[in-house]
Structure formats: structure tokens, C-alpha cells
């Protein structure tokens, strides 16, 4: 909160996908504590019910449509319609949710490939398109997409063939949304998380030096993996007027991993 008592997102409505857990939940709660109303969605209805309580405890309101599969265009449209009917506007879109199927090139089936693309990139297209007219109306629209280190580099340890393509596509689409949105005050940026502990990554992180993230974990310059709170801080910066001259940017939140060998 600022010293005046008004939050940095006061009066704004934030649509957050994957709000039931991990980074999505941390973002919903942080944005709420800064005055935003939240429109969440997830395939996990029970998790989102908990997030709604946490948002309330943070002093704001959240509605959600669960289950919503972000890969499904009609479900995204229904989610957007519900949020607009409830709060009447849209200022922020956080495309956080994504599913992935892991595999090296020899093992990745067409089904794995299509599943990953539908989750990682089609979902961003569906949500951005559905909310676009409303973000234009906002006058200070902000889109925050989730890329990954996988969008920047390959790996001979992580079986992430489809994932590299999906996340590189997110980075490209982010730049294009920034170009198209600029005349309307819409900024589009991406967060590039490093190793962040979430319900999905925790079991792999827990394998430590015996797991596929062994080298990545050992080589994090700041000496720890990240948390949902680390990502929520970055997302708040990109959503708020604090970053009003920043668009088409990839904000790397990885303890220095990508830049330091
Ligand atoms: N965890 C990491 O270390 C890491 C690193 C780089 C990038 N990322 C990216 O961050 C985002 C979240 O990562 P995470 O998996 O660690 O998640 P997370 O645990 O922070 O949350 C994922 C949420 O999304 C929901 N979800 C998954 N698929 C969905 C779908 N099709 N429709 C609706 N909701 C869905 C899950 O139920 C869960 O609540 C993803 O875009 C991921 O690629 C994560």
C-alpha cells in the first residue's frame, strides 16, 4: 500500500489464469492487497475456492469460473464474459496457467505437441483476443504473459522439446501484442521465471542433485530457487503504473541463472 492508503492497483480489475495455486494464487492475493478486483480461473475448483478466501482476507473481491481450461476457446470466452458481467471492466490480464507434456524429440508424440501448444500459446491468444476491446477501453491495459528459460535456450537434461517452442512463441506474441496495443495504452510484457517452487515443480525440486534440475539448481547465482512471492512482486511491477514506460519486455526472475555461467 502507498502512504496515502490507496493501493497501486486501486480501481482496476485483473484477470488471472491459473489462480488456484502457486504463482497464480500469489499474484491474485498480491494484486488484491493493492486494491485490484480479481477474476480468476483454473481447472482446480477447490484450489480457487481457497484463493477467493485469501483475496477476501487481503481486502478485496474475487470471482472465478471453475473449472476453466485455458486451452479451450469457448471456456475462456465464458470466463471473460463472467468477469466483465461482475466487475464491468478489464485492466490487467495475467496469462499464467499452462500445461505441458515433457519429452525429447524422439519421444514427443503429436498429441504431446498439440497439448503443449494449446496450453502454452493458444491459451494466450484466446484470452488476449477476448479481452482486447476491454483492455483498449481501460486506457492503461497491461498484459503479463509467462514465458520461461525454455523459451531462450535448449537443454540436454530437461526433455522439453514442445515446451521450448511453446514458450518462445509466447515471447514473440508478447512483442506483437505490445506493438498492436501501444496506440491504445496497452502494455504487454512477459515474465521469464527461473526455477520457482510451485505445487507442480516442488516434487522435481525436491529430487535435488538426483533430479533433472540438479545443474540448474546448483548454478543459481543467488543460491536459492524462487517463490510465488518473487514472481508476484515482478507481476505487480509490470501491472502497475510503476512500469508505465516498459512494454515488449521480458522480465527475467531467476536469481541470475540465465545471465551468469
Ligand atoms: N514453476 C517453474 O519453475 C516455472 C518456470 C518457468 C516457467 N513457468 C511457467 O509458469 C506458469 C505456471 O507454472 P507452474 O506449472 O509451476 O504452475 P503453478 O503451480 O504456479 O500454477 C499452475 C496453475 O495453473 C492451473 N492450470 C494448469 N493447466 C491449466 C489449464 N489448462 N487451464 C486452467 N488452469 C490450468 C493449475 O491447476 C494450477 O493451479 C506456466 O506458464 C509455466 O510454464 C514455471
CA separation for the pair 112, 117 (Å, rounded): 9
Supply the pLDDT for residue 108: 98
Answer for the pair 101, 115: CB distance below 8 angstroms, yes or no: yes
User: How sure is the predictor about 1, in pLDDT bands with cuts at 50, 70 and 90?
Assistant: very low
Tell how far the Cα of 260 is from the centroid of ligand 1, in angstroms.
25
CA separation for the pair 41, 79 (Å, rounded): 7
**Cα angle for residues 184, 190, 193 (degrees, 5° grid):** 165
- The atom number, within ligand 1, closest to the CA of 147 reads 7
Answer for the pair 189, 143: CB distance below 8 angstroms, yes or no: yes
CA separation for the pair 237, 187 (Å, rounded): 12
User: How sure is the predictor about 194, in pLDDT bands with cuts at 50, 70 and 90?
Assistant: very high
Average pLDDT, the chain: 96
* Residue ranges lining ligand 1, Cβ < 6 Å: 17-18, 20-24, 42-44, 47, 68-71, 96-99, 119, 146, 148, 193, 195-196, 198-201
Reported as a single tens digit per residue, the pLDDT across 40-90 is 999 999 999 999 999 999 999 999 999 999 999 999 999 999 999 999 999
Supply the pLDDT for residue 157: 87
Answer for the pair 55, 77: CB distance below 8 angstroms, yes or no: no
CA separation for the pair 189, 254 (Å, rounded): 16
Tell how far the Cα of 174 is from the centroid of ligand 1, in angstroms.
18
**Cα angle for residues 243, 65, 253 (degrees, 5° grid):** 30
- Cell reading at 66: 471453475
Query: Looking at the predicted structure, is the pLDDT value of residue 3 above 50?
Result: no
Residues 65, 38, 143, 239: what is their CA dihedral angle, to the nearest 10 degrees?
-160
Residues in the chain: 261
Looking at domain 13-198+227-253, does it have CATH number 3.40.50.720?
A: yes
% pLDDT > 70, the chain: 98
- The atom number, within ligand 1, closest to the CA of 47 reads 39
Query: Looking at the predicted structure, is the pLDDT value of residue 211 above 80?
Result: yes
User: How sure is the predictor about 119, in pLDDT bands with cuts at 50, 70 and 90?
Assistant: very high
CA separation for the pair 182, 126 (Å, rounded): 19
- The atom number, within ligand 1, closest to the CA of 199 reads 19
The residue-averaged pLDDT of 173-198 equals 98
Per domain, the residue ranges of the chain are 13-198+227-253
CA separation for the pair 147, 238 (Å, rounded): 14
Answer for the pair 196, 228: CB distance below 8 angstroms, yes or no: yes
The residue with greater pLDDT, 1 or 248, is 248
Strands 37-41 and 62-65: parallel
- Cell reading at 56: 477476501
Supply the pLDDT for residue 5: 59
Answer for the pair 43, 68: CB distance below 8 angstroms, yes or no: yes
- 8-state DSSP, 95: E
Amino acid at each position: 500500500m502507498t502512504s496515502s492508503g490507496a493501493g497501486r492497483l486501486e480501481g482496476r480489475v485483473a484477470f488471472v489464469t491459473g489462480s488456484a495455486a502457486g504463482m497464480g494464487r500469489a499474484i491474485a492475493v498480491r494484486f488484491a492487497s493493492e486494491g485490484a478486483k480479481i477474476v480468476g480461473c483454473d481447472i482446480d475448483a477447490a484450489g480457487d475456492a481457497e484463493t477467493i478466501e485469501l483475496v477476501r482476507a487481503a481486502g478485496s473481491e474475487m470471482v472465478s469460473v471453475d473449472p476453466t481450461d485455458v486451452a479451450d476457446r469457448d471456456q475462456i470466452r465464458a470466463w471473460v464474459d463472467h468477469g466483465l458481467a461482475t466487475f464491468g471492466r478489464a485492466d490487467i490480464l495475467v496469462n499464467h496457467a499452462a500445461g505441458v507434456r515433457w519429452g525429447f524429440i524422439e519421444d514427443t508424440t503429436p498429441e504431446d505437441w498439440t497439448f503443449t501448444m494449446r496450453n502454452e500459446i493458444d491459451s494466450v491468444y484466446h484470452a488476449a483476443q477476448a479481452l482486447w476491446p476491454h483492455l483498449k477501453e481501460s486506457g492503461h491495459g497491461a498484459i503479463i504473459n509467462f514465458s520461461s528459460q525454455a523459451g531462450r535456450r535448449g537443454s540436454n537434461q530437461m526433455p522439453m522439446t514442445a515446451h521450448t517452442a511453446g514458450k518462445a512463441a509466447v515471447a514473440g506474441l508478447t512483442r506483437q501484442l505490445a506493438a498492436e496495443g501501444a496506440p491504445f495504452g496497452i502494455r504487454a510484457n512477459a515474465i521469464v521465471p527461473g526455477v520457482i517452487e510451485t505445487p507442480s515443480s516442488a516434487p522435481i525440486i525436491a529430487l535435488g542433485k538426483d533430479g533433472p534440475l540438479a545443474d540448474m539448481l546448483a548454478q543459481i547465482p543467488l543460491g536459492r530457487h524462487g517463490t510465488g512471492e518473487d514472481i508476484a512482486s515482478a507481476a505487480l511491477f509490470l501491472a502497475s503504473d510503476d512500469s508505465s514506460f516498459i512494454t515488449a519486455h521480458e522480465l527475467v526472475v531467476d536469481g541470475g541463472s540465465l545471465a551468469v555461467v
